[in-house]
Structure 1
Amino acid sequence: MSDPSQVSDLDKNRALVDWLEWQLRQAKNRVRELEVAEEQERRRRERARAEMSWKIQPQRGGMQAMLHRGGCATYSEQFGFINREEALIALAEPDIEACPICTPETGLKQS
């Protein structure tokens, strides 16, 4: 009869595999958490960049071209941002209106 206080090599290795699988699950969970945090940070940076930019809605269907703040949801295109100087030039154009919702001229003419 074998000694019950002795653990077989097989049992030791099974315990090791269980522990390593637990450790792998922990590491995978941490990677998922970090990926979510990284994506949230990327979105935050994009929003901040948009808020410091402007965009022009082209003239279409009889509607006049319109200047928006970069984060304005009224015109949701998220590419083609323009800087402050370009927004000032656009606002001075007679065929471009300022969006009445996001009021892109607010703070634009100050400096």
Structure 2
Amino acid sequence: MSDLDKNLALVDWLEYQLRQAKNRVRELEAAAEEEVRGRARAETSWVIQPQRADQPAMLHGGSCTLATGKPVPINRAEARVALGESYIVTCQMCRPEMGLADG
């Protein structure tokens, strides 16, 4: 095999490696964008933690990790209604009412 053939083979292999790396970068960028979108959805959504025998139902922000049981996802309008219900309290850690005050 001549030097030219060796170098052409090397170029082919390096081009293949570059394509693989570019594809991986695209995959990672897409995953990062989806994570950002998911975080944004969680930060602009709300959940109701169902009422338990000894505690009232609780309104949480969608990204709050303190919601226990099987929290029910709700939209902005439903969250605003929930704020006015006497049997629903708000989480004192995530303070979901703050995200509802401006709109």
TM-score bracket, normalised by the shorter chain, equals 0.7 to 0.9
Deviating beyond 6 angstroms after TM superposition, the runs of 4 or more aligned structure 1 residues are none
CA root-mean-square deviation? 2.3
Q: Distance in 2 between matches of 1:15 and 1:40?
A: 37
Which structure shows the higher helix fraction?
2
**TM-score, normalised relative to structure 1:** 0.75
**TM-score, normalised relative to structure 2:** 0.80
User: Which runs of no fewer than 5 residues in structure 1 stay unpaired?
Assistant: 1-9
Total equivalences in the alignment:
101
The SS at the match of 2:60 is strand
* Paired residues for 1:88-103 under 5 Å: 88-103=80-95
8 Å Cα contact 1:64/1:97 also seen in 2: yes
Q: Of residues 36, 42, 56 in structure 2, which corresponds to 1:44?
A: 36
Structure 1 residues 23 and 54 mapped into 2: Cα distance closer, same or farther (>3 Å)?
same
Q: Distance in 2 between matches of 1:61 and 1:36?
A: 45
Residue of structure 2 equivalent to 1:24: 16
Q: Distance in 2 between matches of 1:46 and 1:80?
A: 17
